[in-house]
Amino acid sequence: MKQKNKLVKVYTGTEVTVNLLKELLEETGVGSTIQNNYKSGIEIGFVGGVQSAIDLYIQQSDFETAEPLIRDFIEKNRN
């Protein structure tokens, strides 16, 4: 059961794209967590991370539900 609650990184991108995917996931009932080392570093007085490398995590137990949405999102947002 412990494995089911593990966080898995599903996307890395800019703050805008990460927040957009987060909202899409929430609309389908999948919660997520953002890790923004750049913003965190600035808030405590040093720069850590890169502005375009913000990570989005979901629970491993939600991955099967979220995977098609994530794949579609990535395909549509390729530069």
Six-digit token pair at 44? 């405590």
Q: pLDDT tens digits, residue range 13-27?
A: 988 999 999 999 999
* Residue 38, domain member (yes or no): yes
Beta-sheet pairing, 7-13 with 32-35: unpaired
* Residue 56, domain member (yes or no): yes
Cβ-contact 8, 30 below 8 angstroms: no
Q: pLDDT tens digits, residue range 34-53?
A: 998 665 444 555 555 555 68
- Percent of the chain with pLDDT strictly greater than 90: 63
| Residue 79: predicted pLDDT | 60
Evaluate if residue 55 carries a pLDDT over 90: yes
* Residue 24, domain member (yes or no): yes
Confidence (pTM) = 0.77
Number of structural domains found in the chain: 1
pLDDT band at 4 (very low <50, low <70, confident <90, very high): low
The parent domain of residue 26 ranges over 2-61
* Residue 49, domain member (yes or no): yes
